[in-house]
């Protein structure tokens, strides 16, 4: 509960900064962040929201969770499963006619008395009538708690447009406010991320154990994906590796992807960008492996990248700007890179999404790196160093850090050493 209240307080702070009376959040990550609610249908990646939450700026007003009427039992089920959902009021809508089906009498259904009692308590927190769709329910909720002249921020501008067309509600974009709120983590979030860090170390160790001459990249990917699933991690869709496979002397847009059927012959440089979600939080760890012994020249290059990485990581503390952290031309090791301009250094926040940085939209643009953002305690920051040099091949390493009052705590303990497989 304390973590939930802290999150709502952070959202309200950002709403005040934006001059908004509230926010309607309907993207999966934001609904989960604000309430703890997630749907079994989240994996469908629907173009339309299947739940929403209204967070008012006024602390005296209720937080309203908006979900299908047929799902009003979800808070009970989730609570019993150890995953409480937080809200003050509920508002409902019909989804694909589930509600009409749910209301139908079933003589064979006999709910236990304790469940009926809990369901009755939940229903007492439902406000208004069930509406035909989520847009109408959002509009009805806003009419109860704000005026048309009040600015309401939305994290889905299609939803905002539909609500505005229906009600003339004043609307705006909630994305930057939500990223600013989410960038600083609660204690519970940090505890979960630390759990994910220990699992990430195990994943990386297992991945490296699967590498070797004669192994194809598809074999490695399949084994790593199974390992991740067995450890309660959802792999990145399509592959457990964002940048996977061996370098083939050509920089391609898909970043070092080895044809899945191509076996390692020896001499390849394997980029191991491991990503997946643990309890909705992203794992983002990267190490570099060399299939067979590396040359002395490559080891020297890798050592230079590592020295730069460690110098930059040591700069991470509250009050510094990420753009300043990532400056590396003054680091002596940079002189050992040929050319140093091929080194990419990025600092970004990690959380419910792998790029959760509090920068202006679009955060993936140049200003996200060149302008950066000021680091605060309890932010979770990735330092990512990728050398693209084509003479010897790439070198890549990435760690995620929890920022504390004086510096930063690495989330991953797996060694940064160059891995040279048998």
3-class SS string, 11-39: HHHHHHHHCCCEEEECCHHHHHHHHCCCC
Distance CA 35, CA 54 (A): 10
State whether 306 and 380 are in the same domain.
Answer: yes
Percent of the chain with pLDDT strictly greater than 90: 69
Identify the residue with better confidence: 118 or 23: 23
Q: Which domain holds residue 76?
A: 2-182
**Residue that finishes a domain, picked among 132, 153, 182:** 182
Write down the pTM of the prediction: 0.91
Q: Is the pLDDT of residue 216 over 90?
A: no
The CA–CA distances, whole Å, from 348 to 95, 180, 412 equal 37, 13, 16
State whether 367 and 405 are in the same domain.
Answer: yes
Q: Please, are residues 369 and 331 in contact by the beta-carbon 8 Å criterion?
A: no
**pLDDT value at position 253?**
40
**pLDDT value at position 94?**
92
**pLDDT value at position 40?**
78
Task: Name which of 156-165, 213-222, 329-338 the model is least confident about.
Answer: 213-222
State whether 243 and 304 are in the same domain.
Answer: yes
Distance CA 282, CA 348 (A): 13
Percent of the chain with pLDDT strictly greater than 70: 95
Distance CA 358, CA 172 (A): 17
Q: Please, are residues 63 and 35 in contact by the beta-carbon 8 Å criterion?
A: yes
- Residues 196-202 have a mean pLDDT of 97
State whether 72 and 124 are in the same domain.
Answer: yes
State whether 252 and 378 are in the same domain.
Answer: yes
**Residue that finishes a domain, picked among 182, 208, 223:** 182
pLDDT interval class at 251 (50, 70, 90): very low
Q: Is the pLDDT of residue 255 over 70?
A: no
- Tokens matching residue 274: 């491991």
**Residue that finishes a domain, picked among 149, 182, 215:** 182
Residue 170 contacts by C-beta under 8 Å, 6 or more apart in sequence? Answer: 148, 149, 150, 151, 152, 164
pLDDT interval class at 20 (50, 70, 90): very high
State whether 264 and 302 are in the same domain.
Answer: yes
Identify the residue with better confidence: 123 or 158: 158
Q: Is the pLDDT of residue 158 over 50?
A: yes
CATH number of the domain encompassing residue 370 = 3.90.230.10
State whether 6 and 144 are in the same domain.
Answer: yes
State whether 281 and 312 are in the same domain.
Answer: yes
- Residues 107-117 have a mean pLDDT of 79
pLDDT digits (tens, 9 = 90+) for 366-408: 877 888 999 999 999 999 999 987 788 889 999 999 999 999 9
Instruction: Give, for 137, the enclosing helix (H) or strand (E).
Output: helix 134-145
State whether 178 and 221 are in the same domain.
Answer: no
- β partners of residue 92: 67
State whether 368 and 349 are in the same domain.
Answer: yes
Mean pLDDT score of the chain, rounded to an integer? 91
Residue 82 contacts by C-beta under 8 Å, 6 or more apart in sequence? Answer: none
**pLDDT value at position 260?**
61
Q: Is the pLDDT of residue 248 over 60?
A: no
pLDDT digits (tens, 9 = 90+) for 275-332: 999 999 999 999 999 999 999 999 999 999 999 999 999 999 999 999 999 999 999 9
State whether 268 and 345 are in the same domain.
Answer: yes
Q: Is the pLDDT of residue 268 over 60?
A: yes
């Amino acid at each position: 509960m304390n973590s939930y209240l802290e999150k709502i307080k952070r959202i309200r702070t950002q709403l005040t900064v934006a001059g908004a009376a509230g926010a309607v959040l309907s993207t999966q990550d934001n609904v989960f962040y604000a309430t703890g609610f997630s749907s079994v249908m989240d994996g469908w990646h629907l173009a339309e929201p299947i739940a929403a939450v209204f967070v008012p700026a006024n602390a005296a007003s209720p937080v309203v969770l908006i979900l299908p009427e047929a799902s009003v039992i979800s808070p009970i089920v989730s609570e019993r499963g150890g995953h409480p959902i937080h809200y003050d009021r509920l508002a409902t809508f019909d989804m694909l006619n589930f509600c009409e089906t749910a209301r139908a009498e079933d003589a064979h259904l006999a709910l236990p008395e304790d469940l009926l009692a809990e369901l009755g308590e939940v229903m007492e927190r439902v406000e208004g009538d069930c509406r035909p769709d989520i847009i109408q329910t959002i509009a009805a909720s806003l009419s109860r708690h704000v005026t048309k002249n009040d600015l309401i921020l939305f994290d889905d501008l299609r939803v905002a447009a539909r609500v505005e067309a229906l009600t003339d509600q004043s609307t705006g974009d909630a994305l930057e406010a939500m990223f600013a709120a989410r960038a600083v983590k609660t204690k519970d979030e940090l505890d979960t991320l630390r759990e994910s860090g220990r699992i990430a170390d195990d994943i990386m160790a297992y991945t490296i154990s699967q590498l070797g001459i004669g192994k194809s990249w598809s074999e490695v990917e399949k084994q790593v994906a199974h390992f991740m699933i067995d450890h309660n991690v959802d792999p990145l869709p399509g592959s457990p590796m964002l940048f996977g496979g061996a370098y083939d002397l050509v920089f391609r847009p898909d970043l070092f992807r080895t044809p899945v059927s191509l076996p390692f012959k020896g001499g390849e440089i394997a980029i191991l960008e491991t990503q997946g979600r643990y309890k909705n939080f992203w794992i983002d760890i990267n190490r570099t492996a060399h299939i067979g012994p590396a040359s002395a020249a490559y080891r020297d290059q890798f050592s230079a990248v590592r020295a730069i990485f460690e110098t930059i990581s040591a700069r991470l503390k509250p009050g510094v700007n990420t753009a300043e952290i990532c400056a590396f031309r003054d680091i002596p090791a940079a002189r050992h890179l040929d050319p140093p301009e091929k080194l990419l250094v990025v600092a970004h926040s990690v959380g419910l999404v792998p790029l959760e940085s509090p920068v202006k939209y679009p955060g993936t643009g140049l200003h996200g790196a060149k302008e950066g953002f000021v680091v605060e305690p309890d932010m979770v920051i990735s330092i990512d160093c990728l050398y693209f040099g084509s003479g010897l091949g790439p070198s890549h390493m990435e760690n995620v850090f929890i920022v504390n009052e004086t510096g930063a705590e690495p989330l991953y303990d797996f060694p940064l050493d160059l891995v040279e497989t048998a």
